[in-house]
Amino acid sequence: MAIGGMAVEGQGGSDNCFNGKITFAVVIISIVAASGGLIFGFDIGISGGVTTMRPFLEKFFPSILKKAASAGAETNVYCVYDSEVLTAFTSSLYIAGLVASLVAGRLTAAIGRRNIMVVGGCTFFAGAAMNGAAQNISMLILGRILLGFGVGFTNQATPVYLSEMAPSKWRGAFSTGFQFFIGLGIVTANCINYATSKLSWGWRLSLGLAIVPSATMSIGALLISDTPSSLVDRGKLEQAKQSLAKVRGTNDNIEIEAELADLIKSCEIARASKEEPFVTIFKRQHRPHLVMSIFIPFFQQMTGINIIAFYAPVLFRSVGFGNNSALLGAVILGLVNLGSILVSTGIVDRFGRRFLFILGGVQMLICQVAIVSTLAASIGENGSKHITKQYAALVLALMCIYAAGFGWSWGPLSWLIPSEIFPINIRSTGQSISVAMNFATTFVLSQTFLAMLCHFKYGAFLFFSGWIAVMTIFIVMFMPETKGVALNSMHQVWERHWFWGRYVKDQS
């Protein structure tokens, strides 16, 4: 037996019962749960698009229009959208999400994964309604804060829910569903922005329509059961048994009882330390888990992908695209990302996490460097040259290849890894730390990117390419392979690792 909630070798019976067994119920439940990614993706796409709509800028950010109108031949086009208030509109969601994700860790353990998803959806609904009806900057940012709380709750609960429900052999494929719905939300939002951009009140429609994915997710979450692990952890054994029978698609009482007994045993081991999860997670044997929960989401954001997703229309306009072309370019970028996530779903459990991390990192690095070279050659250091159609098409193509690299690697895997590596007693806490780091990094980047674009020009992409090189080396050196490993047996991958083994061995 091992302390800190880690099972003895071969104990992971509950997860091992999952191997190779995919039922209709677990597929439907996972799809409904993964739809929690819709609200996050929808917001990413919508917020970037409405900031290029003239009626929206006239009402809330007239200074940007004045700056754009006065732009002359010698004006640095990279700086047109550099506005602290505009970046506050985008980044306020992420500071709220950071706070919510930390609170959600304790709430998820207390009331369950599913209920937190419902709370997150309802909060997001309120924020969407306020943004659609906004009359001033205060209403706009307050709505963004409510959206942030909603996203913080769902991003914390959904990946853990999927990891606990999915069969071990196919956990990667099931968990990529969350990133798929994020991508679907981005594409849907970009299409809506493209359709509403010609309306004087189109920005209200774009922002207000966020109530649709939030209502869909909330209603769907009410119709599914919580995970057996969460129900056992909260002492709801009969409900846990019913949930197991449903997702396994069997009425074999002996099989269900055996798996339930294994879950109970794991939870009893987890409670043995009687320590606060935020204390336990800092213990030596959990050092590799903690490091990954911090660095994986940090590196995900340092790829620059969400910044490009937020500001894709602004970015395309900054380098010479027209308004409609910029919005259409963002749609194309989102579709490529969505397609690549489907590729990841099909191969992540065959080729493994490490292979996709490394492949995606190399692909993104090459594309970022190529984008820098293309922008330098086409519009110059100050952006005073007019970009040709050929160069514009090349920039879009390179961004699409870059988005594809992210879509089948760091996109879905950065949600998967933190949700699957922690023992049950600190799983919610670990996911909270991971989501909080994601939001903290996103907040800093979204608050500073437009200023960075103004001062670094095309060198902003070189900044991100440097981080991509660092994180790819990090994966090569420190990330063990976790494909097909039962959640209750995950400690074995750390024990065998050349570096992390010294932290987790001899802790029995």
Q: What local confidence, expressed as pLDDT, does residue 146 receive?
A: 95
Residue 235 lies in a domain: no
pLDDT band of 76, cuts 50, 70, 90 = low
Q: What local confidence, expressed as pLDDT, does residue 9 receive?
A: 32
Q: Which of these, 153, 440, 194, 137, lies nearest to 301 by C-alpha position?
A: 440
3-state percent breakdown (helix, strand, coil) of the chain, nearest 5: 80, 0, 20
Residue 172 lies in a domain: yes
Please state, for a pLDDT cut of 90, what percent of the chain lies above it.
35
Lowest model confidence (mean pLDDT) among 141-150, 193-202, 355-364, 431-440: 193-202
Could you tell me which residue, 194 or 97, shows the higher pLDDT? Answer: 97
CATH code for position 434: 1.20.1250.20
Per-residue pLDDT for 417 more than 90? yes
Residue 267 lies in a domain: no
Radius of gyration for the alpha carbons in the chain, expressed in angstroms and rounded: 23
Number of structural domains the chain divides into: 1
Pair 475, 354: CB distance under 8 Å? yes
Per-residue model confidence as pLDDT tens digits over 339-351? 999 999 999 999 9
Per-residue model confidence as pLDDT tens digits over 360-391? 999 999 998 998 888 787 766 555 556 677 77
Per-residue model confidence as pLDDT tens digits over 430-484? 999 999 999 999 888 877 777 777 777 777 788 889 999 999 999 999 999 999 8
Lowest model confidence (mean pLDDT) among 125-129, 285-289, 309-313, 370-374: 309-313
Q: Which of these, 359, 450, 364, 373, lies nearest to 399 by C-alpha position?
A: 364
pLDDT band of 3, cuts 50, 70, 90 = very low
- Quote the CA–CA distance of 499 and 197 in Å, as a whole number: 53
Residue 468 lies in a domain: yes
Could you tell me which residue, 2 or 471, shows the higher pLDDT? Answer: 471
Residue 329 lies in a domain: yes
Residue 246 lies in a domain: no
pLDDT band of 168, cuts 50, 70, 90 = confident
Please name the amino acid found at residue 291.
Answer: V
* Full residue range of the structural domain in which residue 103 is found: 24-224+275-505
Per-residue pLDDT for 72 more than 60? no
Q: What local confidence, expressed as pLDDT, does residue 456 receive?
A: 75
Q: What local confidence, expressed as pLDDT, does residue 258 receive?
A: 79
Mean pLDDT of 94-115: 89
Per-residue pLDDT for 188 more than 60? yes
DSSP conformation class of 386: P
Q: What local confidence, expressed as pLDDT, does residue 74 receive?
A: 47
Q: What local confidence, expressed as pLDDT, does residue 461 receive?
A: 81
Tokens describing residue 220 = 């769907």
Per-residue model confidence as pLDDT tens digits over 261-280? 888 887 777 677 667 888 88
Q: What local confidence, expressed as pLDDT, does residue 100 receive?
A: 93
Chain mean pLDDT for the chain:
82
- Quote the CA–CA distance of 298 and 317 in Å, as a whole number: 28
Per-residue pLDDT for 140 more than 60? yes
pTM exceeds 0.85, yes or no: no
Which ranges of 234-379 does DSSP label H, i.e. alpha helix? 237-248, 253-271, 277-280, 287-302, 305-318, 323-351, 353-378
Question: How would DSSP label each residue in 472-498?
Answer: HHHHHHH----TT--GGGTHHHHHTST
Residue 17 lies in a domain: no
Residue 300 lies in a domain: yes
Per-residue pLDDT for 12 more than 50? no
Q: Which of these, 71, 68, 36, lies nearest to 384 by C-alpha position?
A: 71
